[in-house]
Chains A and B, each alone.
Chain A
Amino acid sequence: AQSVAQPEDQVNVAEGNPLTVKCTYSVSGNPYLFWYVQYPNRGLQFLLKYITGDNLVKGSYGFEAEFNKSQTSFHLKKPSALVSDSALYFCAVRDETGANNLFFGTGTRLTVIP
């Protein structure tokens, strides 16, 4: 069965520094991978997705993610963190049966320190 793991519950980074939020996945077949962000009292917002093509995917708000098949990882990155990036980040993988369902990780809380 498909799954994603976010090994860090909390990531702290200083404003202006690069940030990385880690995600590893397990799925049969080609992975469809997603990153979502959740701000307090709001629903999840789509950031980016990997389906095929370049291993470096660019998304909203300056975020990007690097797909690494050999390491089964899909880490979220940003070159320079902003305080406003502080939020809860979720990695997700598509249902390996091909159904339009997503399976989410447990989330990583990012705090950007001014």
Chain B
Amino acid sequence: DVKVTQSSRYLVKRTGEKVFLECVQDMDHENMFWYRQDPGLGLRLIYFSYDVKMKEKGDIPEGYSVSREKKERFSLILESASTNQTSMYLCASRGSGSKPYEQYFGPGTRLTVT
């Protein structure tokens, strides 16, 4: 089974702190994604990466950056956390093989910025 894990289920940070959210997948997938999910707004893409050290902006990249130094790991960085970044953050991955297009999600990180 494909497994996507996220470093924390719940996180509480203060305004202005630098926050790291880590995501690891174990299926050698080329593509990895970070979404945020908010009530009434649904899932929105922040960034994605299609290869090591490669990244593309999604719909709402402002206030975020990402890092992909190894194929299995994709990090989301909040340079200076703000209260409007309180949200559920979901990581996903997708690759090739018997299911070339299916996207798999991690359990999510509920981030609260106070």
Judge: A and B partners, yes or no. no
**A-contacting residues of B (Cβ < 8 Å)?**
none
